[in-house]
């Protein structure tokens, strides 16, 4: 098995193996490295890691010694080998001089695998550790380590590297016996000299400790040298697998104070146990980056106005809008303490954890970075509170675009008719502000407002990112894409939350349910995490850029949210000076606009200059020089403390619903209806959001900017409830002014359409007075009955159609139970009919014959559309196919997940985007359940990449484990983060 070969034979032999090595002696002048890999080839680090994994699989049982810091071997040098002044004699192969070669199987590995990971693997198998630090009884040396072993380890690693770099690598026979025989022979012969040198005698040295060192060193070195002339990964899957984050073992991480334990359960939820809160949030940043770094990078580039830097000029509209509307400081104490007394320190720790992961993995970043060559930017505390004022916000009535649209309707129909069409809830008359000329507001202004205001990652809005060499061959058209969400339009309203008193639960303690609906996308919008340290024990989910959790629970209370929709924005019409468009009217005089000039970096071209203008009210988004007006928007996000969801830091440490009320006042953005339940049996509702106090006007239309319509501070009388007699609190993006509320309305929803259906359905179910268990709440969250359909079904009864196709469809809907299950053909027909039918079909004044004709017309349109969408086989017209969620990867279609057919739909409790669900049992937190589709990880190849996607269609949950014992029982991965040694 052990062969000899001449130097002249090495090149041919190596090439024939499929795992090629250098054809000449490749020891560098320093003697520390082989020749550098050729550009576009697999790195030594990548192939070495694959070899290490292979060798580990060979050695059974695993060799002793699990330690975090193999500094004695790996403390210096790019590849973990101390630089040497000259090459050892064993490596100095002469022409035609026989030398040893190790046979290893040919392997491909992903590029640039983390050197830190490799060091940990070497430590784990090699059993080499530094001496324990003083006072650290957690570190124990391997059973057969000795002081001499550290020096021997350095020499073994150094010697074996040069030996293998000077030689060639060929395949090893596939049987385990022959593999081990080859290695045994090799190490028996090579270790003898090392044993003599370091004072060891006898054959035991060669195949005990030294085998552990040299075996791994030789394997890693051989694969690394061989990789220099090998090709890259054979597929995207192989590339993705090779850059997966380390979620087992130990990692030394600079910046930590004390060790941190990270236990991932069977569903991919990380439970982080730290000894202080700095390390807790540092570890959260680190772990979050392991799973979601690309998502985080795109989020921050969007919020910083730096998309064009990687996407090119097509992204400039988004960058201009972001830079115009973004919060620009000051980043002072008022900003930070608005969130939490320690917010700046904890946000800094979180950012430091993200940066630590980036720095340790510069050569091993997630697959999207490998494919595109994008370099992640460093994070700071300020990154976590980036924000900008969107002009249009889904699910919120009263945003800037809505104000302008209502003004257009006033110009078309008059104020009374425009108000009737909108049907505000609560009702309020629509009064045109004095001095507002609605006739000059045009669609052109609305188009300008929409430019760059939406989500850039919807299909078709941004160009595909360029794939860098050597990966272009792996991503062949049409496999490349730039989309994060389904291309088909989908409503985003649908959030629900409720909490029942103890009298309504089997345990006598409240149960809280929450399913905030947003767009279902890949990766999941939110990320579950459990944070445990002195003063902290909170579990829940939040958007990955953010520290803490947005919706969560601790050992005393739980909270959840839905959008409330308080009006946080006003459009101001600024009068321009007749001779200087940079002067605007203020009271009886003129004042200058603030002008900022910036450059936006653009990929492939010179930076793009932008001129940004601001009035005292806020950024100017449109200038109408002909009519001498400019339109500016004032938004609460320009106020301190208004970064999204940061008020949750206060709630995470709340001890009761009474405590919840005070802490909820730190939740300034977004505007939410927060519900609370506590272990003492209390339940509560608090509407949150920094809401302007408008004296004498309601903010539903644009107003002149001359000083007559200014905010008078912010409202403190937002609706709340505490232990209502009905025994529950529930919200569903509805009007939550409680009965008897006498204050001025804080928001205006609409009573038209199906926007009140969900809350009505909740009142039907919860108002029945039954005791409801966690299982019952699961069924409620997935309730797919449409109240609007119940009202419409009578219109399909009592008549027949002469058209057999229409009659077939009519009959199905007439006998339907109004539940849009996945299998329901009637449900699919109704949904498409509802989208096509004229609104007059529901008007009580419409004559019966005309109503029947409208129903038939709608059915004809529905049949035609379903045939076009789903084909001619009507048996396959399932509602699940109509209501399927697509889950595309942002870059490569090879990583797309299968579409998920779902029940429910807009108007049902199981509405449009319940990718995040929680049901919290405050009597026993381990009985709580959750779902987070499609999965916790955004890294293709991870077991947690799409493992939760089926939950969307099947109505399934996973246990949201809370106590340490329950977490330990379902632990799937254990990672210890230790402070790095100096």
3-state secondary structure 897-956: EEEEECCCCCCCCCCCCCCEEEEEECCCHHHCEEEECCCCCCCCCCCCCCCCCHHHHHCC
Residue 816 main-chain phi, psi, to 5 deg = -80, 150
Which of 576, 635, 693 lies closest to 403 in space, CA to CA?
635
Task: Say how many domains are in the chain.
Answer: 2
Q: How far apart are CA 141 and CA 131, in angstroms?
A: 7
Six-digit token pair at 769?
């007075």
End-to-end Cα distance, the chain = 44
Record the tokens describing residue 336, joined without a space: 């930070």
Q: What is the dihedral of CA 429, 435, 437, 438, to 10 degrees?
A: -20
List, in sequence order, every residue forming a beta bridge with 170; answer none if it has no partner. Answer: 103
- The residue out of 232, 259, 288 marking a domain boundary is 232
* 686: in domain: no
CB 106 within 8 A of CB 14: no
Task: Tell the burial category of 739 from Cβ atoms under 10 Å away from its Cβ (0-12, 13-18, 19+).
Answer: exposed
More confident residue, 164 or 645: 645
> Span 264-283, mean pLDDT?
99
In a domain, 80, yes or no: yes
Selection from 147, 298, 128, 112 nearest residue 217 by Cα: 128
pLDDT tier at 493, thresholds 50, 70, 90: low
Yes or no: say if 823 and 802 are a contact pair by the CB < 8 Å rule. no
Q: Dump pLDDT digits (tens) for 694-740.
A: 999 999 999 999 999 999 999 999 999 999 999 999 999 888 887 77
Residues with Cβ within 8 Å of residue 176, at least 6 apart in sequence: 58
Output phi, psi for 244, to 5 deg. -65, 145
Name every residue whose Cβ is closer than 8 Å to that of residue 469 and which is 6 or more positions away in sequence: 40
- Does position 479 have pLDDT exceeding 80, yes or no? no
Enumerate residues 6+ apart whose C-beta is below 8 A from 32: 77, 78, 81, 82, 83, 84, 158
Last residue of a domain, one of 232, 261, 281: 232
Confirm whether 509 is domain-assigned: no
Q: Which domain holds residue 862?
A: 787-819+823-882
Among 862, 882, 902, the domain-final residue is 882
The CA distance from 96 to 379, in Å, is 55
pLDDT at 145: 33
Confidence of residue 215 (pLDDT cuts 50, 70, 90): low
Is the distance from CB of 238 to CB of 110 less than 8 angstroms? yes
Whose tokens are 């150094």? That residue is 158
Query: What average pLDDT does range 471-495 have in this prediction?
Result: 65
pLDDT, tens digit, for every residue of 895-942?
999 999 999 998 999 988 788 999 999 999 999 999 999 999 999 999
Q: Let me know if residue 82 belongs to a domain.
A: yes
122-134 pLDDT, tens per residue?
444 333 333 333 3
Helical H runs in 799-847? 804-814, 825-836
φ, ψ of residue 84 in degrees (nearest 5): -115, 150
Closest CA to 222 of 119, 103, 111: 103
> Do residues 434 and 440 lie in contact, with contact meaning Cβ atoms separated by under 8 Å?
no
Give the integer Cα–Cα distance in Å for 508 and 678.
11
Task: Classify residue 193: in a domain, yes or no.
Answer: yes
Omega within 30 of 0 (cis) for the link into 789: no
- Of the pLDDT bands very low, low, confident and very high (cuts 50, 70, 90), residue 487 is low
pLDDT tens figures, 378-389: 999 999 999 998
* Angle between helices 209-226 and 115-126 in degrees, nearest 10: 150
pLDDT tens for 652-694 read 999 999 999 999 999 999 999 999 999 999 999 999 999 999 9
Residue 158 token pair = 């150094």
Residue 332 dihedral angles phi and psi, to the nearest 5° = -115, -175
pLDDT band at 180 (very low <50, low <70, confident <90, very high): very low
Do the domain assignments include residue 77?
yes
With 90 as the cut, is the pLDDT of residue 962 above it? yes
Residue 478 phi/psi, 5-degree rounding, is -95, 35
Query: Model confidence at 743, in pLDDT bands (50, 70, 90)?
Result: confident
Buried b (16+ CB within 10 A) or exposed e, 939-972: bbbbbbbbbbbebbbebebbbbbbeeebbeebee
Q: Is residue 971 part of a domain?
A: no
In a domain, 220, yes or no: yes
The answer to whether 898 touches 887, Cβ cutoff 8 Å, is yes
Strand-by-strand arrangement of the 916-921 sheet:
728-731, 496-500, 511-515, 916-921, 929-932, 958-959
Least confident piece of the model among 467-471, 486-490, 625-629, 696-700: 486-490
């Amino acid at each position: 098995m052990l062969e000899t070969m001449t130097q002249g034979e090495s090149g041919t032999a190596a090439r024939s193996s499929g795992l090629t090595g250098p054809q000449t002696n490749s020891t560098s002048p320093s003697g520390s490295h082989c020749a550098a890999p050729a550009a576009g080839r697999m790195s030594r680090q990548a192939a070495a890691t694959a070899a290490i994994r292979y060798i580990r699989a060979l050695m059974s049982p695993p060799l002793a010694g699990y330690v975090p810091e193999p500094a004695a071997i790996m403390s210096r040098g790019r590849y973990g080998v101390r630089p040497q002044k000259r090459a050892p004699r064993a490596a100095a192969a002469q022409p035609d001089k026989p030398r040893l070669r190790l046979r290893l199987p040919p392997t491909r590995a992903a590029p640039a695998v983390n050197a830190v990971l490799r060091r940990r693997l070497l430590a784990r198998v090699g059993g080499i550790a530094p001496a324990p630090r003083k006072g650290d009884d957690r570190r124990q040396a391997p059973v057969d380590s000795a002081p001499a072993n550290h020096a021997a380890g350095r020499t073994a690693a150094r010697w074996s590297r040069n030996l293998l770099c000077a030689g060639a690598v060929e395949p090893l026979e596939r049987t385990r016996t022959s593999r081990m025989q080859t290695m045994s022979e090799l190490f028996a012969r090579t270790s003898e000299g090392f044993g003599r040198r370091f004072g060891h005698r006898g054959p035991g040295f060669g195949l005990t400790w030294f085998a552990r060192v040299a075996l791994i060193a030789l394997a890693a070195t051989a694969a690394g040298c061989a990789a220099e002339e090998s090709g890259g990964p054979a597929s995207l899957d192989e590339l993705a697998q090779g850059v997966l984050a380390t979620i087992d073992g130990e990692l030394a991480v600079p910046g930590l104070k004390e060790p941190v334990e990270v236990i991932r359960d069977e569903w991919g939820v990380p439970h982080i146990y730290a000894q202080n809160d700095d390390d807790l949030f540092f570890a959260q940043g680190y772990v979050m980056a392991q799973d979601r770094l690309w998502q985080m990078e795109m989020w921050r580039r969007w919020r910083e106005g730096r998309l064009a830097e990687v996407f090119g000029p097509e992204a400039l509209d988004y960058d201009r809008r972001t830079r115009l509307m973004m919060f620009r400081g000051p980043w002072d104490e008022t900003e930070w303490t608005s969130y939490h007394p320690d917010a700046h320190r904890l946000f800094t720790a979180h950012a430091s954890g993200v940066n630590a992961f980036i720095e340790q993995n510069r050569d091993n970043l997630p697959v999207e970075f490998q494919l595109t060559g994008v370099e992640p930017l460093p994070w700071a505390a300020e990154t976590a509170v980036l924000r900008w004022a969107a002009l249009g916000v889904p699910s919120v009535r009263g945003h800037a675009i809505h104000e302008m649209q209502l003004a257009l309707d006033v110009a078309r129909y008059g104020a009374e008719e425009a108000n009737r069409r909108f049907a505000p809830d609560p009702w309020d008359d629509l009064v045109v502000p004095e001095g507002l000329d609605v006739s000059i507001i045009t669609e052109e202004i609305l188009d300008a407002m929409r430019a760059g205001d939406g989500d850039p990652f919807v299909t078709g809005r941004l160009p595909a990112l360029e794939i860098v060499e050597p990966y272009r061959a792996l991503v062949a058209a049409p496999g490349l894409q730039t989309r994060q969400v389904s291309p088909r339009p989908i409503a985003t309203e649908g959030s629900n939350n409720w909490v029942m008193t103890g009298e309504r639960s089997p345990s006598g303690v409240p149960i809280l349910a929450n399913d905030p609906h947003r767009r279902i996308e890949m990766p999941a919008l939110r990320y579950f995490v459990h944070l445990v340290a002195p003063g902290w024990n909170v579990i829940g989910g939040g958007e990955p850029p953010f520290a803490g959790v947005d919706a969560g629970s601790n050992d005393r209370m739980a909270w959840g949210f839905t959008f409330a929709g308080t009006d946080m924005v006003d459009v101001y019409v600024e009068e321009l000076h007749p001779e200087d468009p940079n002067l605007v009217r203020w009271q009886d005089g003129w004042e200058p606009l603030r002008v900022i000039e910036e450059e936006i970096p653009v990929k492939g071209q010179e930076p793009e200059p932008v001129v940004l203008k601001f009035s005292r009210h806020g950024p100017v988004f449109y200038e109408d020089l002909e009519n001498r007006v400019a339109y500016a928007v004032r938004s609460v996000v320009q106020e301190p403390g208004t970064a999204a969801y940061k008020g949750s830091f206060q709630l995470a440490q709340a001890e009761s619903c009474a405590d919840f009320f005070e802490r909820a006042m730190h939740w300034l953005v977004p505007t939410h209806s927060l519900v609370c339940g506590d272990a003492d049996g209390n339940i509560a509702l608090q509407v949150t959001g920094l809401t302007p106090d408008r004296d004498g006007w309601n903010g539903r239309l644009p107003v002149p900017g001359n000083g007559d319509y200014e905010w008078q501070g912010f409202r403190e009388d937002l609706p709340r409830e505490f232990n209502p007699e009905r025994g529950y609190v529930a919200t569903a993006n509805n009007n939550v002014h409680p009965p008897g509320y006498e204050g001025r309305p804080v928001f205006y929803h609409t009573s038209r359409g199906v926007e009140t259906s969900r809350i009505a359905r909740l009142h039907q179910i919860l108002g029945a007075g039954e005791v409801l268990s966690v299982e019952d709440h699961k069924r409620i969250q997935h309730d797919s009955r449409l109240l609007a359909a119940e009202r419409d079904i009578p219109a399909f009864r009592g008549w027949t159609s002469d058209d057999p196709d229409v009659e077939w469809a009519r009959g199905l809907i007439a006998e339907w139970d109004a539940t849009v299950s996945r299998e329901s053909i009637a449900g699919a027909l109704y949904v498409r009919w509802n989208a096509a039918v004229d609104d007059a079909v529901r008007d009580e004044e419409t004559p019966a014959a005309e109503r029947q004709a409208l129903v038939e017309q709608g059915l004809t349109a529905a049949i035609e559309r379903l045939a076009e969408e789903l084909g001619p086989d009507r048996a396959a017209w399932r509602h699940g196919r109509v209501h399927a969620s697509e889950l595309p990867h942002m870059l490569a279609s090879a990583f797309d997940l299968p579409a998920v057919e779902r029940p429910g739909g807009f108007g049902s409790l199981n509405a449009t985007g319940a990718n995040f669900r929680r049901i919290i049992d405050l009597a026993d937190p381990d009985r709580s359940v959750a779902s987070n589709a499609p999965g916790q990880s955004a890294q293709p190849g991870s077991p947690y990449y799409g493992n939760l996607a089926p939950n969307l269609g099947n109505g399934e949950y996973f246990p949201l484990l809370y106590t340490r014992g329950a977490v330990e029982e379902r632990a799937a991965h254990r990672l210890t983060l230790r402070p790095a040694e100096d």
